[in-house]
Amino acid sequence: GQNIDQPTEMTATEGAIVQINCTYQTSGFNGLFWYQQHAGEAPTFLSYNVLDGLEEKGRFSSFLSRSKGYSYLLLKELQMKDSASYLCAVMDSNYQLIWGAGTKLIIKP
Amino acid sequence: ETGVTQTPRHLVMGMTNKKSLKCEQHLGHNAMYWYKQSAKKPLELMFVYSLEERVENNSVPSRFSPECPNSSHLFLHLHTLQPEDSALYLCASSQSAEGPSGANVLTFGAGSRLTVL
Protein backbone atom coordinates (compact mmCIF):
# COMPACT_ATOMS: atom_id res chain seq x y z
CA GLY A 1 0.00 0.00 0.00
CA GLN A 2 0.90 3.64 -0.23
CA ASN A 3 2.17 5.39 2.87
CA ILE A 4 3.42 8.78 4.00
CA ASP A 5 5.16 9.01 7.38
CA GLN A 6 5.85 12.18 9.31
CA PRO A 7 6.25 12.80 13.05
CA THR A 8 3.03 13.49 14.90
CA GLU A 9 4.34 16.39 16.95
CA MET A 10 7.52 18.43 17.36
CA THR A 11 8.54 21.21 19.71
CA ALA A 12 11.08 23.93 19.01
CA THR A 13 12.21 27.24 20.46
CA GLU A 14 11.57 30.68 19.02
CA GLY A 15 14.52 31.82 16.92
CA ALA A 16 15.81 28.28 16.38
CA ILE A 17 15.77 25.94 13.37
CA VAL A 18 13.56 22.88 12.99
CA GLN A 19 13.48 20.13 10.38
CA ILE A 20 10.27 18.21 9.73
CA ASN A 21 10.84 14.92 7.93
CA CYS A 22 8.55 13.09 5.55
CA THR A 23 9.19 9.62 4.15
CA TYR A 24 7.01 8.08 1.51
CA GLN A 25 6.28 4.80 -0.23
CA THR A 26 4.05 5.35 -3.22
CA SER A 27 3.32 3.76 -6.57
CA GLY A 28 5.24 6.21 -8.68
CA PHE A 29 6.14 9.81 -7.97
CA ASN A 30 5.02 13.01 -9.63
CA GLY A 31 5.92 15.58 -7.00
CA LEU A 32 5.81 16.31 -3.29
CA PHE A 33 3.92 19.14 -1.58
CA TRP A 34 4.15 20.79 1.81
CA TYR A 35 1.19 22.66 3.27
CA GLN A 36 0.87 24.67 6.47
CA GLN A 37 -2.35 24.58 8.47
CA HIS A 38 -2.97 26.83 11.46
CA ALA A 39 -5.60 25.59 13.90
CA GLY A 40 -9.07 26.32 12.58
CA GLU A 41 -7.76 27.63 9.28
CA ALA A 42 -7.30 26.48 5.71
CA PRO A 43 -4.19 24.54 4.70
CA THR A 44 -1.98 26.86 2.66
CA PHE A 45 0.57 25.84 0.04
CA LEU A 46 4.23 26.13 1.05
CA SER A 47 6.32 24.27 -1.50
CA TYR A 48 6.46 21.79 -4.35
CA ASN A 49 9.44 19.55 -5.17
CA VAL A 50 9.66 17.28 -8.17
CA LEU A 51 13.45 17.16 -8.66
CA ASP A 52 16.09 16.20 -6.10
CA GLY A 53 17.61 19.00 -4.11
CA LEU A 54 16.80 21.96 -1.96
CA GLU A 55 14.25 24.65 -2.75
CA GLU A 56 14.50 27.79 -0.63
CA LYS A 57 11.75 30.32 0.00
CA GLY A 58 12.74 32.84 2.59
CA ARG A 59 12.82 31.23 6.03
CA PHE A 60 11.39 27.97 4.65
CA SER A 61 13.26 25.38 2.58
CA SER A 62 12.16 22.00 1.27
CA PHE A 63 14.44 19.15 0.31
CA LEU A 64 13.73 16.07 -1.77
CA SER A 65 15.59 12.80 -2.37
CA ARG A 66 13.59 10.60 -4.72
CA SER A 67 15.98 7.65 -4.41
CA LYS A 68 15.46 7.61 -0.64
CA GLY A 69 11.75 8.44 -0.70
CA TYR A 70 12.48 11.30 1.65
CA SER A 71 11.76 14.98 2.04
CA TYR A 72 12.15 17.52 4.78
CA LEU A 73 10.84 20.98 5.47
CA LEU A 74 13.37 23.27 7.15
CA LEU A 75 12.14 26.29 9.07
CA LYS A 76 14.71 28.87 10.16
CA GLU A 77 14.50 31.76 12.62
CA LEU A 78 11.35 30.30 14.10
CA GLN A 79 8.57 32.68 15.05
CA MET A 80 5.58 32.04 17.29
CA LYS A 81 3.32 32.30 14.24
CA ASP A 82 5.02 29.19 12.80
CA SER A 83 3.10 27.10 15.35
CA ALA A 84 0.88 25.05 13.04
CA SER A 85 0.48 21.65 11.48
CA TYR A 86 2.61 20.84 8.45
CA LEU A 87 1.19 18.44 5.90
CA CYS A 88 3.27 16.40 3.46
CA ALA A 89 1.60 15.03 0.32
CA VAL A 90 2.95 13.01 -2.61
CA MET A 91 1.40 12.74 -6.06
CA ASP A 92 1.57 9.16 -7.28
CA SER A 93 1.77 7.74 -10.80
CA ASN A 94 -2.00 8.17 -11.21
CA TYR A 95 -1.71 11.84 -10.24
CA GLN A 96 -3.51 11.15 -6.99
CA LEU A 97 -2.39 13.04 -3.89
CA ILE A 98 -1.39 10.79 -0.98
CA TRP A 99 -1.38 12.73 2.30
CA GLY A 100 0.51 12.28 5.53
CA ALA A 101 -1.30 12.75 8.84
CA GLY A 102 0.55 16.01 9.48
CA THR A 103 3.13 17.21 12.00
CA LYS A 104 1.98 19.56 14.73
CA LEU A 105 4.78 22.05 15.43
CA ILE A 106 4.76 23.81 18.79
CA ILE A 107 6.99 26.87 19.18
CA LYS A 108 7.99 27.87 22.70
CA PRO A 109 9.35 31.29 23.71
CA GLU B 1 -9.26 35.51 2.77
CA THR B 2 -8.15 32.43 0.89
CA GLY B 3 -10.42 32.85 -2.13
CA VAL B 4 -12.32 29.71 -1.11
CA THR B 5 -15.19 30.33 1.29
CA GLN B 6 -16.99 27.60 3.19
CA THR B 7 -20.23 27.87 5.14
CA PRO B 8 -21.22 27.08 7.76
CA ARG B 9 -17.98 27.00 9.71
CA HIS B 10 -19.56 24.85 12.42
CA LEU B 11 -22.50 22.48 12.21
CA VAL B 12 -24.08 20.19 14.78
CA MET B 13 -26.67 17.75 13.55
CA GLY B 14 -28.54 14.70 14.65
CA MET B 15 -28.38 11.44 12.77
CA THR B 16 -31.79 11.97 11.20
CA ASN B 17 -31.20 15.55 10.05
CA LYS B 18 -30.53 16.77 6.53
CA LYS B 19 -28.09 19.61 6.07
CA SER B 20 -25.80 21.00 3.39
CA LEU B 21 -22.28 22.38 3.32
CA LYS B 22 -21.51 25.13 0.84
CA CYS B 23 -18.26 26.08 -0.86
CA GLU B 24 -17.62 29.04 -3.12
CA GLN B 25 -14.42 29.96 -4.95
CA HIS B 26 -13.57 33.29 -6.52
CA LEU B 27 -10.33 32.22 -8.19
CA GLY B 28 -11.62 31.27 -11.63
CA HIS B 29 -10.58 27.67 -11.05
CA ASN B 30 -12.10 24.82 -13.02
CA ALA B 31 -11.77 21.99 -10.50
CA MET B 32 -13.25 21.65 -7.02
CA TYR B 33 -12.79 19.02 -4.33
CA TRP B 34 -14.26 17.78 -1.07
CA TYR B 35 -11.89 16.38 1.54
CA LYS B 36 -12.54 14.90 4.97
CA GLN B 37 -10.04 15.71 7.73
CA SER B 38 -10.18 13.69 10.95
CA ALA B 39 -7.86 14.25 13.90
CA LYS B 40 -4.42 12.73 13.43
CA LYS B 41 -5.43 11.13 10.12
CA PRO B 42 -4.44 11.97 6.56
CA LEU B 43 -6.76 14.00 4.40
CA GLU B 44 -9.28 11.78 2.63
CA LEU B 45 -10.40 12.78 -0.86
CA MET B 46 -14.16 12.40 -1.22
CA PHE B 47 -15.18 13.98 -4.52
CA VAL B 48 -13.60 15.79 -7.45
CA TYR B 49 -15.42 17.95 -9.97
CA SER B 50 -13.89 19.29 -13.17
CA LEU B 51 -15.88 21.84 -15.14
CA GLU B 52 -18.96 20.90 -13.12
CA GLU B 53 -18.72 17.20 -13.94
CA ARG B 54 -17.87 14.66 -11.27
CA VAL B 55 -14.62 12.95 -12.23
CA GLU B 56 -13.93 11.01 -9.07
CA ASN B 57 -15.87 9.51 -6.21
CA ASN B 58 -13.63 7.70 -3.75
CA SER B 59 -16.17 5.12 -2.58
CA VAL B 60 -17.92 7.59 -0.33
CA PRO B 61 -21.13 6.40 1.41
CA SER B 62 -24.33 7.55 -0.28
CA ARG B 63 -25.31 9.57 2.80
CA PHE B 64 -22.91 12.17 1.34
CA SER B 65 -24.22 13.68 -1.88
CA PRO B 66 -22.24 16.33 -3.77
CA GLU B 67 -23.61 18.92 -6.14
CA CYS B 68 -21.73 21.29 -8.41
CA PRO B 69 -24.16 23.68 -10.13
CA ASN B 70 -21.37 25.77 -11.68
CA SER B 71 -17.61 26.07 -11.57
CA SER B 72 -17.71 28.49 -8.63
CA HIS B 73 -19.99 26.59 -6.27
CA LEU B 74 -19.87 23.19 -4.65
CA PHE B 75 -22.26 21.65 -2.14
CA LEU B 76 -22.13 18.60 0.06
CA HIS B 77 -25.58 17.39 1.05
CA LEU B 78 -25.69 15.36 4.26
CA HIS B 79 -28.41 12.98 5.42
CA THR B 80 -28.71 10.22 8.02
CA LEU B 81 -25.09 10.66 9.06
CA GLN B 82 -23.30 8.59 11.68
CA PRO B 83 -21.27 9.85 14.65
CA GLU B 84 -18.08 8.66 12.92
CA ASP B 85 -18.77 11.19 10.18
CA SER B 86 -17.89 13.95 12.64
CA ALA B 87 -14.86 15.69 11.14
CA LEU B 88 -13.61 18.82 9.40
CA TYR B 89 -14.81 18.94 5.79
CA LEU B 90 -12.48 20.90 3.55
CA CYS B 91 -13.29 22.26 0.14
CA ALA B 92 -10.48 22.99 -2.30
CA SER B 93 -10.11 24.26 -5.83
CA SER B 94 -7.40 24.18 -8.47
CA GLN B 95 -6.89 25.52 -11.96
CA SER B 96 -7.58 22.11 -13.46
CA ALA B 97 -8.22 18.54 -12.31
CA GLU B 98 -5.33 17.17 -14.34
CA GLY B 99 -3.22 16.61 -11.25
CA PRO B 100 -1.63 19.02 -8.83
CA SER B 101 1.72 20.50 -9.74
CA GLY B 102 3.73 23.55 -8.92
CA ALA B 103 1.48 25.50 -11.28
CA ASN B 104 -1.75 23.74 -10.31
CA VAL B 105 -1.79 23.79 -6.52
CA LEU B 106 -4.83 23.18 -4.37
CA THR B 107 -6.31 26.20 -2.61
CA PHE B 108 -8.31 25.21 0.45
CA GLY B 109 -11.15 26.77 2.37
CA ALA B 110 -11.07 26.96 6.15
CA GLY B 111 -13.46 24.02 6.46
CA SER B 112 -16.79 23.18 8.00
CA ARG B 113 -16.49 21.50 11.41
CA LEU B 114 -19.26 18.88 11.54
CA THR B 115 -20.44 17.17 14.72
CA VAL B 116 -22.98 14.36 14.44
CA LEU B 117 -24.78 13.52 17.67
DSSP conformation class of A40: T
CB contact under 8 A, A42 and B4: yes
Amino acid at B52: E
- Look at residue B30 and tell me whether its pLDDT is greater than 60: yes
Q: Furthest-apart CA pair in chain A: how many Å? A: 43
CB contact under 8 A, A43 and B99: no
Mean pLDDT of all residues in B88-109: 87
Query: Which chain A residues have a beta carbon less than 8 Å from that of B43?
Result: 87, 89, 97, 99
Mean pLDDT of all residues in B8-34: 94
pLDDT, position A82: 98
Mean pLDDT of all residues in B1-20: 89
Query: Which chain B residues have a beta carbon less than 8 Å from that of A91?
Result: 99-101
Binning chain A into helix, strand and coil, the percentages to the nearest 5 are 5, 55, 40
CB contact under 8 A, A44 and B110: no
Give pLDDT tens digits for A1-54.
789 999 999 999 999 999 999 999 999 999 999 999 999 899 999 999 999 999
> Mutate which of A37, A46, A55, A57 to disrupt the B interface (most B C-beta within 10 Å)?
A37
